[in-house]
Structure 1
Amino acid sequence: MASPRLETFCCPNRDDATAFVVGFQPRFFNAICIGSAAVSLLLTILQIAPKRRSYRRLSQYPLQKPASSSRILFIVSLCDILGCLGILIRSTVWLGSPSFISKISVLNTTEVWPAAFCVGSSMWIQLFYSASFWWAFCYGIDVYLVVKRSAGLSTIVLYHMITWGLAVLLCVEGVAMLYYPTISSCENGLEHAVPHYITTYVPLLLVLLINPVLFGRTVATVTSLLKGRQGIYTENERRLGMEIKIKFFKIMLVFFICWLPNLINESILFYLEMQEDFKGSHLKNARNAALITWFIMGILNPMQGFLNTLAFYGWTGFNIDFSIQSSREIPWESASTSAVPADGYNPTMSSSLNYQGCTPDKKKGLSGNGYHRADTISVLSEGSDSSAVEIHISSDLRGSEGTDADNESVETSEKDRLVR
């Protein structure tokens, strides 16, 4: 699991609360972490692996570059995989080599590798999970900007600079303050560890507190866009808006489930550290709550990767495409990013294609930087084939004069596209 307590444990001057939770049933705890991390790692890789079914469906059509929000979701999954891999390796070593782990930060010792492994593995896990938090925060910003002004792919470089820069900076700064002046002689007291806890939980709190607001504003904007496309708000628009809202709800639900135990556990441990008699009988319930949330963290933290892919894409299945051509398409390049043939008709799409085409007023459908406003909605419905197909706007149709704004039947729309 990912907790700043593990970095604190690398110090010989570790506090009583950290020594209490880390030292309680360590073999059983690490076995739980190994099982959870292994399952999550395998299922996450399975989820994002190219699928043969989707490739056959889309191989006859050229693929465009995925939207920035799609790339962000894929990078979040990669960060979760790397963080989960760090948990798996660290727990395996802790479980398999107890004599090696017992030498971590022992006073007046010449052993260097135990402390180096403790610090290195903890920093690895913190770095990639912090990057995952920052990317999740950028996703909330990106989807809001997309529906407002079509931010597009041009901002992905800025997101890379923000996420990796802040993740590395805060991780290094927090660890440097924690291990001052050296790892073998960390400062006593809780004060020197506070900056490390702050740098760890700042990105987590940003996602928990700000992303729901951004998602709510995005859903409200999408609803107004759907109403303004044809001047009416039909059942299809209502269903599409609900699908986007449910997707955002799933993303935040996964985040709260996986990381809320960390905040509860940290609050309880800080409360215990403030008490004069840490092992007093009146604090028994608090100690039990700290242990319970500690083991819950060991299960849920590594599972974030797999649960995130379920929230992003749904269950993608086992039908993996191992061919060389599959490298050209990855799961986040869904039907919403595929181009339509030159005649504007895609036989693989369902009869819900009445959403395709430009708006009656071509200028009305364009944002300030030249992107089609309806394209922004397709970014939000990735992972749902039906909704992504319904609102897809092909690049070939953007240059046309547009179809009628009235809600005509599917047969009439198909004839109009064939005539063009």
Structure 2
Amino acid sequence: MASPRMETFCCPNRDSTTAFVLGFQPRVFSALCACSAAVSLALAVLQVLPKRRGSRRLGQYPVPKPASSSRILFIISVCDVLGCAGIIMRSSVWLGVPDLISAISVPENPDVWPEVFCVGSAMWIQLFYSASFWWTFCYAIDVYLVVKRSAGISTIVLYHMITWGLAAMLCAEGVAMLYYPSISSCQNGLLHAVPHYITTYAPMLLVLLVNPVLFSRTVAAVTSLLKGRQGIYTENERRLGSEIKMRFFKIMLVFSVCWLPNLVNESLLFYLEMQADLTASNLKNVRNAALITWFIMGILNPMQGFLNTLAFHGWTGFDVDFSVRQRREVVWDSASTSGTAAGVYSSVLGSTVLYQGHVQEVKNSASNGQQHPETIGILSEGSESSTIEIPISSERRGTEEAEADEESLESPAKQ
């Protein structure tokens, strides 16, 4: 699981509430965390592997470089998988080498390896889950900006700088404040740990509070684009808008289910910490609630990896394609002032919501002289034929330019 209580546990003079929750059935709790993380890791990797059923459709058209939104979804899955790997490693050591963990509680212990492992594994887990929070926030920003025609593939570099920079900086700052002046002699009391808890929960609260607002604005912007072409809102467009709302709802539902227990548990533990006697009989219900939410966290925190892939792509199946295929890339016209680019996006990650601004249709028109509108490619969840294109009121000049080139080639021959 991912909780700042794990870093607090590495201090020999840890607070009483941290000792209370981590001292209750530690082996059962470690086994529960390891099993949940292993299942989530295996299923998440299975989800993102390319599937054979999609390869035939991919081969019909040239596949462009993935949109920034597609890359962000893949990076979120990678962060979740690495976080699960850290939980598996830590829980396995706690189960297999219990003496190593008990040595952390010994003050002035000359052996530093128990504390090094405790701090290292806790920082690994916090770093990647914190990065996952920041990438989820950037995803909400990206889909909104792309629909607003204000972002593109180049913004992925900026997202990398923001997410990894903030995740590393906040993780290092929080841990430095927690273990001051040293790991073996952390400050007593709760106040010195407050900066660490803030740096851990700040990105989580940012996603919970800001992402729904950005997603709702994105849906409103897509609705405006759907209505903008002919000024009408048909049943198909209404259905498409509902699918987009449902996708965003699934993403926020998974995030809320996996991480709201952390906020509830932390509130209960802080309440217990402020009491004079933690073992008082009138606090029995609060202690039980804290232990219940603590075990729920051990199950749901690691499961975010798999549940996120379901929210992003739907169930992609077991038919994994391990063959390596050479796929052609569409040449992007970076000098085009109209902002049109090629591609109907069909990512190897499966089905996901992709908003790629200024995308043209790849298929040729059946009738001569027919002009293709610019589109926003949206892959909704479900089958292989779930690619839906939203036409926007602007015309493609590619057909006209091709006809002009043909006329210029024919004119010398006639002369």
Query: Which TM-score bucket, shorter chain as reference?
Result: 0.7 to 0.9
Q: How does 1:133-212 map to 2 (within 5 A)?
A: 133-212=133-212
> RMSD between aligned alpha carbons?
2.5
Aligned pair in 2 of structure 1 residues 142, 88: CA closer, same or farther (>3 Å)?
same
- Counterpart CA distance in 2 for 1:127 and 1:301 is 14
* 159-168 vs 381-390, which moves further: 381-390
1:55-94 mapped onto 2 (5 Å cutoff):
55-94=55-94
Which residue does 1:110 correspond to in 2?
110
Among 357, 361, 372, which residue is 2:372 paired with?
357
Please give the alpha-carbon distance, in whole angstroms, between the structure 2 residues aligned to 1:113 and 1:327.
48
2: CA distance between counterparts of 1:217 and 1:248? Answer: 11
Per the TM alignment, residue 62 of structure 1 is displaced from its structure 2 partner at its CA by 1.1
CA contact (8 A) 2:62 2:327 kept: no
Provide closer, same or farther for how the CA distance between residues 262 and 124 of structure 1 changes in structure 2, counting only shifts above 3 A: same
Query: Identity rate of aligned residues, in percent?
Result: 72
**Greater strand share, structure number:** 2
Q: 2:388: which partner in 1?
A: 389
Q: In 2, are the aligned partners of 1:335 and 1:388 still within 8 Å (CA)?
A: no
Aligned-residue offset at 1:339:
8.2
Q: Hey, which bits of structure 1, 4+ residues long, moved more than 2 A?
A: 326-330, 332-345, 378-393, 396-402
Contact residue 64 and residue 339 of structure 1 kept, 8 A: no
1:343 equivalent to 2:345? Answer no
CA deviation after TM superposition for structure 1 residue 401, in Å: 5.8
Letter of the 2:210 counterpart:
I
Q: Check 1:298–1:231 CA distance in 2 against 1; reply closer, same or farther (3 A cut).
A: same
Q: CA deviation at 1:333?
A: 8.0
TM-score (structure 2 length as normaliser):
0.85
Aligned-residue offset at 1:217: 0.8
Cα contact 1:2–1:301 (8 A) shared by 2: yes
Query: In 2 relative to 1, CA 162–177 (structure 1 residues): closer, same or farther, beyond 3 Å?
Result: same
Shift, 1:100, TM fit: 1.3
The within-5 A match list for 1:225-374 is 225-325=225-325, 330-331=348-349, 343-344=364-365, 357-358=372-373, 372=374, 374=375
With over 3 angstroms needed to count, the CA separation of the structure-2 counterparts of 1:380 and 1:51, relative to structure 1, is: closer
CA distance in 1, matches of 2:365, 2:313: 27
Whether the 8 Å CA contact 1:13–1:186 is kept in 2: the answer is yes
Change over 3 Å in CA distance of 1:283–1:121 after alignment to 2: same
Rounded to whole Å, the distance in 2 between the matches of 1:304 and 1:188 is 33
Residue type matched to 2:349 in 1? P
Q: Provide the C-alpha distance between the structure 1 equivalents of 2:68 and 2:113, rounded to a whole number of angstroms.
A: 41
Letter in 2 for 1:223: T
In structure 2, the partner of 1:223 is: 223
Residues 398, 96 of structure 1: CA spacing in aligned structure 2 closer, same or farther, 3 A cutoff? farther
**Paired letter, 1:187:** Q
**Which structure has the highest helix share of the two?**
1
Question: C-alpha displacement at 1:384, in angstroms?
Answer: 6.6
**Alpha carbons 1:44, 1:309 under 8 Å: kept:** yes
Distance in 1 between the 2:44 and 2:326 partners?
18
Q: Distance in 2 between matches of 1:391 and 1:287?
A: 53
Deviates more, 1:112-121 or 1:336-345: 336-345
Q: Counterpart of 1:190 in structure 2: which amino acid?
A: L
Mapped to 2, the partners of 1:304 and 1:383 lie a distance apart of: 21
* Residue 100, structure 1, aligned to residue 118, structure 2: no
Whichever residue aligns with residue 263 of structure 2, its letter is L
Alpha-carbon distance change, 200 to 193 in structure 1, aligned in 2, over 3 angstroms: same
Q: How many residues align?
A: 375
Deviations, residues 206-259 of structure 1 (Å, cap 9, x unaligned):
000000011011111111110112221111100000000000000000000000
Q: Which residue of 1 is the match for residue 47 of structure 2?
A: 47
Partner Cα separation in structure 2 for residue 177 and residue 141 of structure 1: 31
1:231-289 superposed Cα distances (whole Å, 9 cap, x missing partner) = 21111100000000000000000000000000000000000000111110010000000
> After superposition, what is the alpha-carbon deviation per residue over 1:185-219, rounded to whole angstroms, capped at 9, x for unaligned?
00001011000000000000000000001101111
Displacement of 1:325 in angstroms is 1.8
* Residue equivalent to 2:398: 399
Q: TM-score, normalised by structure 1?
A: 0.84
2: distance between equivalents of 1:139 and 1:4?
25
Structure 1 unaligned runs (5+)? 346-353, 359-371, 403-420
In structure 2, runs of 5+ residues without a counterpart are 329-346, 402-415
Provide closer, same or farther for how the CA distance between residues 382 and 144 of structure 1 changes in structure 2, counting only shifts above 3 A. Answer: farther
- Indicate if the aligned counterparts of 1:62 and 1:339 stay in contact, CA closer than 8 A: no
TM-superposed CA distance for 1:400, in Å, is: 3.6
